[in-house]
Chains A and B, each alone.
Chain A
Amino acid sequence: MARVLFDEATKVYQGPVVALDHLTLDVADGEFLILVGPSGCGKSTALRMVAGLERISDGTISIGDRVVNDVPPKDRDIAMVFQNYALYPHMTVEKNLGFGLRRRHTPREDVRQRVDDISAMLGLQDLLRRRPGQLSGGQRQRVAMGRALVREPEVFLLDEPLSNLDAKLRVQMRSELKRLHDRIGVTTIYVTHDQVEAITLGERIAVLSEGVLQQVGPPQDVYDHPANVFVAGFIGSPPMNLLKGNAAGGRIAVGEVEFVDRQVPDGEVLVGIRPEGLHPVGEGFDGPVFEVSVEVVEPLGDEVLVHGSIEARAAEVRREAEETALLADGKRDRATITLRLPPEERPKPGSRLRVGIAQNTVRLFDAANGLAVEPR
């Protein structure tokens, strides 16, 4: 059994700086879980705590059945792929791959067999006699993975393993990783700051910010139903449009546009609309419509992103000194929103566009604490 359980796991540094704040998370046996968030959010700290590279200040972490707070890394039966690969520069690829096995006094024949198997699986057979310095980035990455996999660990940890690769290679490796996981099925915890990676790779994703877990769930769930404004703005590219709205008796006004039939308490509310929830509409459209003044048009090949301004206030999410409440206080009277269009449609900058809102994609958030209103 190789499930990983974080139970109120906390890491505090001198300062006091709370790097990880009472994280409670249950990673199932064989699951591919992704820890995602901006830099400094605590995801790497959480990973390193599972590895035993950082001591735990409070709470526990368990691997399988046992609590591993005081177990040194080498006794945890985990393997890790570092962001910079951490390959031993003075050893050949073959020696790198076999290092862990040899440290554990695996018989030489077994070592050779397993190294051969892994290099075959990862396409490293021709590189065995080379040194890391003679390999390309992608090759080094595969050796790092091979070194981890050859040990057949209970838990597989990856710390932003793709961030040093160029874009094309990254996409390639993403699918390879997925394939590997499907084939081997070991419990995997993967850390990244790239939310696209998170959504495409993970079975479940856990979003962190400033040491606190914001939301955990399957990628599509997190995307469709973000638990708070942070997750809403972080997951999804281009980010969700966030506007300031006012609710009164079931009607929510965003600038000059009104929605109806929303069961929210009166007062200020944040309105989130994903770019794909906005469509150009003709004169006859009968739902809420924004009059968008087109500013920038970005053709991406498979779609076109249009950025324009509307008569509404943007919601700015800020952090005020000690106060953790957020201010929904747009500075300008016009907000810039983004919408997606099919590649054939290319409005001209300066033109006006009537944009309709798919109301079932609108998400509402409390203006005081950012939590989703009417969470599913």
Chain B
Amino acid sequence: MDRFRRFLVSDHAAGWAFILPSVILIAVFGIIPILWGLILSFQKAGLISPEREWVGLGNYAKIASDPKARQAAVNTIYYTLLFVPMSILASLFIAHALNRKIAFVRFYRLAVFIPVVTSTIATGIMFLWLFDKNYGLANWLLGKIGLGPFGFFEDPDQAMVALVLMTVWGWLGFDTIIYLAALQGVPQELTEAAAIDGSSRWSTFWRVTWPMLGPATLLLVVWSTISALQLFDEVFFVTHGGPLGRTSVVVFYVYRLAFEQGLGSLSLAGYAAAIAYVLFLVILVLTLAQFWLGRRVVHYSS
């Protein structure tokens, strides 16, 4: 009895009492779904219907022969290859520009940061209107400098690029904040020493500042890649995978299988789960690869 009482007031009891509600919630809504999803991926399952049929690796095999899955993969890679470099390079340049003592810098920073808080839907609406083929401001402005008119979201060849522009607009603020923090973390003495050593401004940036931005760059590359690979909201709302499936990305395809097609009599939830898991594995491998590569190239100063 006494041992029990001692236990109750011990650190062990206190610790567990503090984490218990959270652990339960995480177990139920975090861990169980992760495991369940894995199991589902080995089944032919209906979303509303209770059908469950074990198919082992059948779903995974199906992915290889599914042309829609292949298209989704290609589109996703295309999007990622455009989105990641563009957003990182742009934000680096902007962060450098904002890192100076210049008039109105607060206003400029605000302008760059605000798009971060607009929701994907709000952004989607803004750009649907901006990029409207017939009445949009974009075509009008571009027309004034002799370009266009463009179909943007309605043109199969342009839709993905338009999506990239839209999402880069939304994410620039985020990347810029990170680069700004990193730039401000470069000790002033280093750039001063470089200047005294005879280094020009460009040379100092390239040989002294840029290497010190390594950790931030690695971070942004990893983060941007992960979010690019998981693109959904904008595709669903703005183009719904079109035109002609040219913007259908993996997560969108998963959604369609499970929640659009799968709601009917087609039991595709398991298949969708399998695709989701494959994407997860790709992300995991890519992230690890990026970190491993990063560790070899990036030098964390003591």
> A residues near B, CB below 8 A?
51-53, 72-74, 78-80, 82, 84, 86, 88-90, 99-100, 103-104, 131-133, 147, 151
Q: A90-B299, A131-B299 are in contact. Are A103 and B199 (CB under 8 A)?
A: yes
Write 12 A-B pairs (CB below 8 A) sorted by A numbering.
Answer: A51-B192, A53-B192, A73-B195, A73-B196, A78-B196, A84-B187, A86-B189, A86-B190, A90-B301, A103-B200, A132-B302, A133-B302
Asked if A86 contacts B193 (CB within 8 A), the reply is yes
Asked if A72 contacts B190 (CB within 8 A), the reply is no
Asked if A72 contacts B195 (CB within 8 A), the reply is yes
Contact digits for B166-199, partner A, Cβ 8 Å, 1 yes 0 no: 0000000000000000000001011011111111
Chain A: minimal CB distance from B141 (Å): 41
Of all chain B residues, the one with the shortest Cβ separation from A150 is B197
Chain A: minimal CB distance from B100 (Å): 16
Q: A86-B187, A133-B302 are in contact. Are A74 and B212 (CB under 8 A)?
A: no
Residues of A within 8 A of B193 (CB): 80, 82, 86, 88, 147
B211 in contact (CB, < 8 A): yes
Residues of A within 8 A of B195 (CB): 52-53, 72-74
Asked if A74 contacts B301 (CB within 8 A), the reply is no
Asked if A82 contacts B208 (CB within 8 A), the reply is no
> B residues near A, CB below 8 A?
187, 189-190, 192-200, 203, 207-208, 211-212, 214, 299, 301-302
Pick from A86, A131, A151: contact of B192, CB under 8 Å: A86
Chain A: minimal CB distance from B289 (Å): 22
Of all chain B residues, the one with the shortest Cβ separation from A100 is B197
Pairs of residues from A and B, 3 with the lowest C-beta to C-beta distance, nearest first: A89-B301, A100-B197, A133-B302
Residues of B within 8 A of A79 (CB): 196-197
Residues of A within 8 A of B196 (CB): 51-53, 73-74, 78-80, 100
Asked if B211 contacts A147 (CB within 8 A), the reply is no
Can you add 13 more A-B contacts, CB < 8 Å, to A51-B196, A103-B194, A103-B199? A53-B196, A73-B192, A73-B196, A74-B196, A86-B189, A88-B193, A88-B208, A89-B301, A89-B302, A90-B211, A90-B299, A100-B196, A100-B198
Of all chain A residues, the one with the shortest Cβ separation from B193 is A86
Q: How far is the CA of A89 from the CA of B207 in the complex (A)?
A: 11
Asked if B194 contacts A99 (CB within 8 A), the reply is yes
Asked if B199 contacts A74 (CB within 8 A), the reply is yes
Residues of A within 8 A of B199 (CB): 74, 99-100, 103
Asked if A74 contacts B197 (CB within 8 A), the reply is yes
Residues of B within 8 A of A103 (CB): 194, 197-200, 203
